[in-house]
Structure 1
Amino acid sequence: MESTIEIRDEITALNLLRDLVEDRYDEPPEIEFKGYGSIQIRYRGDRFDQTVTASVMAGLLELQRELYRTFCIARYDEPNLRRLTKEERDALELSFRIEKGSSLININFAEILQNFSKLGKKMTGKQITICALSAILAFGGYHSWKAYLSHRKEVRLAEVKSEEHAKTLEQIAEMDKNETERLKLFAELARKDERVDAIRSYGTNAQLALLKSAEAADEMEVQGLRLDGDTAHDLVKNARRQSYEKTIHAGFTVLKVDATKKNKFVVTVKSLDGDQIINAEVPDTDLNIPLKKIIRSAEWERLELKLKIKAKLIGEDITKAEIVDAKRIRSSEKVDQVATVDEVEQPESDDATEEKQF
């Protein structure tokens, strides 16, 4: 096997990601980005000549946050940005170079991702490479951008009734056969590796933020894909960020139990490190009577519990949580303060999040 693989294009990156996820390497190769791995975004219009507007900066800042979140989920198994050290924030901070004639923003994403190997002291070489490749494909991949635009086009065509609107949206090109196959492969790999799945959702949320930032421009071009400001504005209407599900296994104390509402048993718990407070429900079924008793007892006796919580999140925010298991922690037992995460991207059924693309 090669000791170093040069990543010169998207196909090479995707194929290597497949080989790593499917364990085709005994030892993961070193990767080096060569002429691939930058994100180019160009804004054209009267207000864009080596300058950016506040709305564009908001989109770029959201891109930065999603990159931080990507490293958090890779390094700490949770998207909590407070876990980042100053060293990690500095190493992952994006630099934006704006060129003359319009506002061309060039982001050397590959250079940032090379820092994953320096920062991921507790990650294996395979984990580092999988996360770096997933990030460049999700955030800067031509096929992921084209897929998101195509997806939003189909959603908006189903929503709008005006033929004029429909004609405007038709400028968005359809995915060709090869691009569709690459997209399917990326989605398949995401189903096999939870970190790939999480990073793919963060990339989608960054794309939404950057599209919103283009509304004030006459034209936006990203990774060679062009659309005018009006189309960008139309595409993001009713768009929501994607949610995902996360299973937390960690130690908690019970702060409060509220059983006053009919058919509801609501519990407020605090992580043992004091970093997180979660309001969760226990399903109101006969099978959960023993579970409720354990939780009640822990509240009264101030006992610590190891809980299994199924949570739904948008970014870092838990929007819904359900306790499915609880065990008392003996004094001799040591419980990790960092939750073990099983993560699968899921679409929300309500209006809180974007619908799943694939």
Structure 2
Amino acid sequence: MPGRNDNQAELISTIDEALLKISDGAKFDVPLVFTGELSEWTAHIEGTKYDSSIPAELARGLWEFQEQLYRAAAFALYGSDDIRKLTGEQRIDFQLIFNVNEGSTSITAVITGFLEKLAEGMTSMDSIDKRKTIITVALIIAIGWGAITITETLADVKKAEIAAQIAIDGNQQETARLQEFSKLAEKNQVAARFSKASEEGTRAIVKGASDAAEIKIGRITFDSEEIQEINQRAAKEKADAKIISNDFVIVRMEFRESATKIWLASAETGEFSITILDEEIDADSRKKIWECAEKRLPVKLEVNATIIRGQIRAAQLIKTVQS
């Protein structure tokens, strides 16, 4: 197969190559090796405070980005984005080393080791899905997918400008494939979690460099006005916590090691998901949820929901409620 070397590793070095390989239906039968533009995460920050140094606020933003990647890795391996699921060794495996280039605040972090360990840990996934997922995660991190996602909240003129820039940097075919990739990143649950990690991590970095003249993450550049707009929107969109007791339809369930992810829906809340760790639910509650799912009956639950812009972004089960 093209892209494989004598040591039977599959080499992927460009965005366009990765976009093609996502949909080729091949199995994960040899290690994936990411090189070139897919081998690292990059950011560049312009401003008087950002000459070969990382101020404390920016360092905090980078750490929040790292924590988001930890959560996504925990979700990929254990079905729960609880960082406590990761062992000390795994935290080391998934830790990015941020390097500042001399003479500027260009920050790079090699992601090849992260991707290799992620692939090693995903032992229960179908071979074709696993290969597709790892390539998708590599793209999400390397191209700064979170920065692209954030542009959805900006003015239409900015989105048009970014679309044009992507087309210039790449080519028309690549741009079309990126649009298809966007749909894939939403449907693949692990990819969707890494997409969220990339977006939240990018927001943290933009917040940490709020006085920068310009921030470039992956392919996307934000000027000072856009940096302020993103941070102002974030301040207005602070999460609200709300206890909701309702009859929910169980849309689907996914079982992972020591955890179950359940998608719930009601007319009042729309669809959202909760992850239940085995050790955090009693036998009676588990039985009730399982029976309602099997019989396709609504189940009355009390959940602690995190709401942003009127939508439930995260929720935890408090208890089942007797009807």
* TM-score tier (shorter): 0.5 to 0.7
Decide which structure has the larger Cα Rg and report it. 1
Q: Which residue in 1 is equivalent to 2:74? A: 72
- The 3-state SS of whatever aligns with 1:105 is strand
RMSD, aligned CA:
4.0
What's the CA shift string for 1:232-283, capped at 9, x where partnerless? 12234324599xx99657899xxxxxxxxxxxxxxxxxx7854469xxxxxx
- The 3-state SS of whatever aligns with 1:237 is helix
Q: Which residue in 2 is equivalent to 1:235? A: 230
Alignment of 1:121-136 (within 5 A): 121-123=123-125, 125-136=127-138
TM-score (norm 1): 0.60
- Is 2:147–2:202's contact at 8 Å kept on the other side of the alignment? no
Q: Which residue in 2 is equivalent to 1:153? A: 154
Is structure 2 residue 16 aligned with structure 1 residue 14? Answer: no
Tell me how many residue pairs correspond in the alignment. 263
- Aligned mates of 1:213, 1:305 — CA distance in 2: 46
- Aligned mates of 2:57, 2:95 — CA distance in 1: 19
What's the CA shift string for 1:40-74, capped at 9, x where partnerless? 11222222222212221222112111211221121
- Is 1:50–1:100's contact at 8 Å kept on the other side of the alignment? yes
1:206 maps to a residue whose letter is: G
Which sits farther off after the overlay, 193-202 or 89-98?
193-202
Q: Which residue in 2 is equivalent to 1:199? A: 194
Structure 2 CA distance for partners of 1:274 and 1:12, relative to 1, 3 Å: same
2:21 maps to a residue whose letter is: L
- Is 1:219–1:228's contact at 8 Å kept on the other side of the alignment? yes
- Paired-residue identity, %: 19
Alignment of 1:1-358 (within 5 A): 1=1, 3-19=8-24, 24-26=25-27, 28-35=29-36, 36-123=38-125, 125-141=127-143, 144=145, 147-148=148-149, 150-154=151-155, 172-175=161-164, 176=167, 178=173, 180-239=175-234, 273-275=278-280, 305-307=287-289, 324-325=298-299, 350=310
- Aligned mates of 2:123, 2:286 — CA distance in 1: 31
TM-score (norm 2): 0.66
- Aligned mates of 2:291, 2:59 — CA distance in 1: 36
Query: Which is richer in helix?
Result: 2
Q: Which residue in 1 is equivalent to 2:242? A: none
- Is 1:74–1:127's contact at 8 Å kept on the other side of the alignment? no
2:110 maps to a residue whose letter is: N
- Aligned mates of 2:83, 2:251 — CA distance in 1: 16
Contiguous gaps of at least 5 residues in structure 1: 158-168, 253-270, 278-294, 311-322, 327-346
- Is 1:248–1:309's contact at 8 Å kept on the other side of the alignment? no
